Amino acid sequence: MFDKFLHFRESRGWNILKKIQELLIVICASVSTLIFVVEVVIRYVLKIDFLGYDELVLLFASWLYFIGGSYAMYKKEHISADMLPLFLKGRVLQVTRVVVDWVIFAITLVLAIWGVDFFLYAMSRTANTTVWKIPLLVSQSALSVGYVLMAFYALVYGLEDTLLAIADGKKLRNEKRKGDCEQ
């Protein structure tokens, strides 16, 4: 059972989710940059105001920020100050990391619940941007999607590290029993 779950990250669904996130990140970053370039050219070269460019940038930047955050969680490259290896070693470090994983999951789960609540609240409002009339829900939904993905990744890694800690614990107990029998 452990092996099946531990190989979950090699599944097709996991890879598709990763590719979708990567694609969204590239698109959002590229479009945001392109909007800024176009705005500068229109404003300073053509001497025309590009009204509403900030609404477009906000839309793509919101998605970039939250999908980027969830992608960093997926890659385990989110901002952290992991000083545990400096103070702990071996089994104590492994168990402490499991505890940290579950604390991270609890925090991201609360944020995901708040994000979904915010999305549901935003659905009941029909607010649009001023110039382009883009529903604010489009950019606000990025928050919900990003936090749900972060909670999902935190859950997967928490389960993974817990299963590995259990497996290593069993392995250590079996090795100790073997050593006791040999004496």
Q: Is the pLDDT of residue 69 over 80?
A: yes
Q: Which of 137, 116, 139 is nearest to 127 (CA)?
A: 137
For the stretch 147-177, what's the b/e string if a residue is b when 16 or more beta carbons lie within 10 angstroms of its beta carbon? bbbbbbbbbbbbbbbbbebeeeeeeeeeeee
Angle between helices 53-75 and 12-40 (to 10 degrees): 150
Largest Cα–Cα separation, the chain: 88
**What pTM, to 2 d.p., does this model score?**
0.88
- 179: pLDDT confidence band, cut at 50, 70 and 90? low
Calculate Rg over the CA atoms of the chain: 23
Torsion angle, alpha carbons of 179, 181, 182, 183, to 10: 90
Place of tokens 């050219």: 41
Residue 66, token pair as written in the block = 């939250």
Task: Compute the distance between CA of residue 58 and CA of residue 137 in angstroms, rounded to an integer.
Answer: 12
CA atoms within 13 A on the CB side of 149: 24
% pLDDT > 70, the chain: 90
Please write the tens of the pLDDT for every residue from 145-172.
999 999 999 999 999 999 888 888 777 6
Q: Which residue has the higher pLDDT, 172 or 53?
A: 53
What was the pLDDT predicted at 98?
Answer: 95
Going by the DSSP 8-state scheme, the letter that residue 91 receives in this structure is H
Please write the tens of the pLDDT for every residue from 86-140.
888 988 999 999 999 999 999 999 999 999 999 999 999 889 999 999 999 999 9
Q: Is the pLDDT of residue 45 over 80?
A: yes
For the stretch 93-125, what's the b/e string if a residue is b when 16 or more beta carbons lie within 10 angstroms of its beta carbon? ebbebbeebbebbeebbebbeebeeebeebeee
Q: What are phi and psi of 32, to 5 degrees?
A: -60, -45
- 176: pLDDT confidence band, cut at 50, 70 and 90? low
Q: Which of 8, 147, 160 is nearest to 78 (CA)?
A: 147
Task: Compute the distance between CA of residue 79 and CA of residue 10 in angstroms, rounded to an integer.
Answer: 25
